[in-house]
């Protein structure tokens, strides 16, 4: 079975994070070296159209790269373009990624997967931003990207297999609560269970010195052996709380 999970990446938040990271790095460099004004200016991503285009290009490239990694965990035929097992779209300034995964995908990791995916995209954009300005800084964000990717992969944990549903009966009724037998006489204790249920009803005898038991198509056969009183208990092998007691009184021949 397959189910669809949806990841929402907030595009303005990713762009703002990228700008803030570069802004703080530039300020740190200026604080360390007051002469590094030109370097700081180059480092800090702003609202200039050129900067916006670079960031947005890097953002969409990172999303496509992310989809190639996520494709490893899809529960489909593998033709991701043809069967739409993974797709992304822009909606209200959000990037929406839909994945068709195993129905045993643990839904508790959906939000974690969305947040880690957003961090992966942010760090990928920052890694690309620093490539031409500061190679050491770019290498640092490359490590962040790898760490995000490793965490994303750990999100794909499956829940335990679902136990099969077996239609054992949930109800049990007998024809009466007591029977009388003469020694040597045989009677049948009949019972009913749910329609279509598996018959797992067994019979426990309190005192086998007094009666014999056996199976029949209608229920359980009870044969009197000795005079006295005992009981039988009908029970479900798979539901210990489902029991019915029938008292048996054995008398001498009349």
Domain final residue, candidates 123, 154, 185: 154
Residue showing tokens 């010195």: 209
Please indicate, yes or no, if residue 32 is contained in any of the structural domains. yes
Q: DSSP state, 39?
A: H
Domain final residue, candidates 154, 184, 207: 154
- Predicted pLDDT of residue 217: 86
- Predicted pLDDT of residue 85: 63
- Predicted pLDDT of residue 84: 53
Query: Is the torsion defined by CA of 71, 73, 78, 80 positive or negative?
Result: negative
On whether the CB atoms of residues 75 and 102 are closer than 8 A, the answer is yes
Q: Does one domain contain both 9 and 112?
A: yes
- Predicted pLDDT of residue 79: 46
Query: CA dist 48 to 42, 55, 125, 166, 232, Å?
Result: 12, 11, 17, 65, 89
Strand ranges (E), 62-146: 86-91, 94-102
Q: Classify 216 as helix, strand or coil.
A: coil
Q: Does one domain contain both 235 and 118?
A: no
pTM score: 0.60
- Please, how many CA atoms are within 13 Å of residue 244, restricted to the half-sphere of its CB? 20
Q: Does one domain contain both 178 and 131?
A: no
End-to-end CA distance of the chain: 67
Comparing C-alpha atoms, which of 235, 245, 244, 230 is closest to residue 180? Answer: 230
CATH at 219: 2.60.40.1080
Domain final residue, candidates 154, 186, 215: 154
Q: Does one domain contain both 126 and 14?
A: yes
Query: CA dist 149 to 69, 102, 143, 222, Å?
Result: 8, 20, 10, 69
d(CA 32, CA 29): 5
- Predicted pLDDT of residue 102: 80
Q: Does one domain contain both 215 and 247?
A: yes
Task: Please state at what angle helix 110-130 crosses helix 135-154, rounded to 10 degrees.
Answer: 160
Please indicate, yes or no, if residue 14 is contained in any of the structural domains. yes
Q: Does one domain contain both 191 and 246?
A: yes
On whether the CB atoms of residues 220 and 203 are closer than 8 A, the answer is yes
- Predicted pLDDT of residue 23: 85
For residue 80, give both structure tokens. Answer: 């991701």
Please indicate, yes or no, if residue 22 is contained in any of the structural domains. yes
Q: Does one domain contain both 87 and 147?
A: yes
Please indicate, yes or no, if residue 162 is contained in any of the structural domains. no
Q: Does one domain contain both 109 and 216?
A: no
Please indicate, yes or no, if residue 164 is contained in any of the structural domains. no
For residue 13, give both structure tokens. Answer: 């938040």
Range of the domain at 46: 2-154
Q: Does one domain contain both 29 and 137?
A: yes
Q: Which residues contact 118 (CB under 8 A, 6 or more apart)?
A: 9, 10, 13, 14
Q: Classify 168 as helix, strand or coil.
A: strand
Q: Does one domain contain both 128 and 190?
A: no
Cα-flanking dihedrals φ and ψ of residue 43, to 5°? -75, -35
Q: What is the mean pLDDT of each run of 10 residues along the chain (254 residues)?
A: 86 90 81 74 78 89 91 62 62 86 84 93 93 89 94 81 80 92 93 92 93 91 93 92 94 78
Q: Does one domain contain both 196 and 142?
A: no
Please indicate, yes or no, if residue 27 is contained in any of the structural domains. yes
Q: Does one domain contain both 135 and 246?
A: no
The total number of structural domains that make up the chain = 2
């Amino acid at each position: 079975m397959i189910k669809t999970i949806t990841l929402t990446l907030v595009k303005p938040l990713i762009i703002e994070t990228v700008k803030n990271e570069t802004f703080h790095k530039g300020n740190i460099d200026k604080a360390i070296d007051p002469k590094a004004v030109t370097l700081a200016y180059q480092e800090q991503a702003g609202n200039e159209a050129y900067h916006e285009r670079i960031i947005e290009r890097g953002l969409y490239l990172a999303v496509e790269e992310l989809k190639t990694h996520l494709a490893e965990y899809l529960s489909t035929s593998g033709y991701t373009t043809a069967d739409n097992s993974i797709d992304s779209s822009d909606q209200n300034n959000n990037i929406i990624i839909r994945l068709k995964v195993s129905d045993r995908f643990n839904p508790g990791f959906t939000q974690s997967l969305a947040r880690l995916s957003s961090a992966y995209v942010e760090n990928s954009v920052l890694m690309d931003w620093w490539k031409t300005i500061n190679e050491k800084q770019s290498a640092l964000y490359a490590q962040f990207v790898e760490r995000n990717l490793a965490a994303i992969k750990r999100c794909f944990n499956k829940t335990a297999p679902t136990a099969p549903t077996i239609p054992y009966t949930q109800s049990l009724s007998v024809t009466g609560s007591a029977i009388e037998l003469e020694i040597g006489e045989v009677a049948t204790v009949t019972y009913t269970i749910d329609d279509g249920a598996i018959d797992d009803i067994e019979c426990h005898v309190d005192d086998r010195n007094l009666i014999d038991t056996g199976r029949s198509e209608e229920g359980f056969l009870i044969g009197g052996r000795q005079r006295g009183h005992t009981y039988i208990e009908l029970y479900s092998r798979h539901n210990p709380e489902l029991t019915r007691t029938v008292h048996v009184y054995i008398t001498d021949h009349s």
